[in-house]
Amino acid sequence: MSRTALVTGITGQDGSYLAELLLQKGYAVHGVTRHASSLNRARLGHLTGTALTLHHGDLTDAPTLQRLVQQVRPDEIYNLAAQSHVGVSFELPGYTMDCNALGTLRLLEAVRTLGLGGTTRFYQASTSEMFGTAATSPQTESTPFEPRSPYGVAKLAAHWIARNYREAYGVFACCGILFNHESPRRGESFVSRKITRALARMHLGLQDVLELGNLDAERDWGHARDYVEAQWLMLQQPQPDDYVIATGKRHSVREFVVAAAAALDLGLRWEGEGADERAVADIVPSGSGIRSGQTVVRLDPRHVRPIDVPALCGDAGKARHVLGWTPRTGFDALVREMVASDLALAQREARAG
């Protein structure tokens, strides 16, 4: 008999890849979407006519979550919904706590009070942001948490409440501690997509300047398509557990810009304090394709966060051993795929005038 999954955050980057994966595996997929005045289902358009059913719902609305869990009685719940932007969480700390922390509690309470703890498996989208200024690198499942943003704090509360429901009530809850993962479907305000979208547009003369904040931040960037497989694998194990999902390689924001510019053969001009080419030359091995030119990348303090996480890099050894999971897409291939997709988008924009 086909299995049923309930996915919150289905309109997001991960939600769309996960929905594809589950539909391929024969699941009936139920997605929770927020009501919005303008359409927010662009990432799901290609799934029309499949075993996908969408329901209005919101992580801030407990009665609706209760009703949806009761109605769908899912075999698996994937809680991907969140106010997911770290920078925005400094502007919206209350909402971020409500959605990301209490929202997870509301969903777990629905599972528990409906008596589904023993049958419905629960995936929680935890994050490397919970490590914050971790003293050790690479980070593993046992690295202490030290979050540096309202987003990280809220996600840590959700992480602990999911573990608590596992220990206290026997809910089959797994937390995936995922490091940054990107794709052509990444939201345009996250740094990877902001870079590939802007450079592709600048290549065609549609934009003059790319403004960024902290260029020295280092992240462990993987591909979302690979990472949703790990989410599914966690819920197929005999026992619930928590897993770090990462590539184990870290790159700076500056390196991301350089890699994207190289893919478009653009010459860069760095502006703003701390954005000089010498700093670039220090971190980019010679002969990697970087060259000076007229494409302006400007360091703008408006994009710098009140505090930032300087560097994150994960050790996914446990996922490799227990889940048999390894990332398939490396940094260069990820950047090239995103650049190619954004170049096609910019070309359509240029044609439309």
Residues within the interface to ligand NDP (CB under 6 A): 8-9, 11-15, 32, 34, 36, 40, 58-60, 80-84, 99, 125, 127, 178, 180-181, 187
- 212 touches, from ligand NDP, ligand GDR, none (C-beta below 5 to 8 Å by class): ligand GDR
- 217 touches, from ligand NDP, ligand GDR, none (C-beta below 5 to 8 Å by class): ligand GDR
For 131, which DSSP code? T
Return the residue of 97, 191, 230, 258 that touches ligand GDR, per CB under 6 A.
191
Report in angstroms how near the CB of residue 113 gets to ligand GDR at its nearest: 29
Q: How far is CA 230 from CA 94, 317, 327, in A?
A: 30, 13, 9
Exactly one of 17, 27, 78, 151 is catalytic; which is it? 151
Catalytic site residue 295?
Answer: no
Report in angstroms how near the CB of residue 220 gets to ligand NDP at its nearest: 10
Return the residue of 62, 64, 87, 347 that touches ligand GDR, per CB under 6 A.
87
Which residues touch 131 (CB under 8 Å, ≥6 apart)? 139, 143, 145, 146, 147, 309, 312
295 binds ligand GDR (CB under 6 A): no
Rounded CA-CA distance 174/318 in Å is: 14
214 binds ligand GDR (CB under 6 A): yes
For 51, which DSSP code? S
β-strands 295-299, 222-223 pairing: unpaired
Q: Which is nearer to ligand NDP, 125 or 217 (CB)?
A: 125
Burial label for 301, CB within 10 Å (0-12, 13-18, 19+), is: exposed
Q: Which is nearer to ligand NDP, 32 or 263 (CB)?
A: 32
Angle at 308 between CA 15 and CA 199, to 5 degrees: 65
Beta bridge partner(s), residue 124: 79, 175
Place of tokens 């304090």: 273
| Catalytic annotation, residues | 127, 129, 151
Residue ranges in contact with ligand GDR by CB under 6 A: 84, 86-87, 127-129, 179-180, 189-192, 194, 212-214, 217, 219, 253, 303, 305, 308
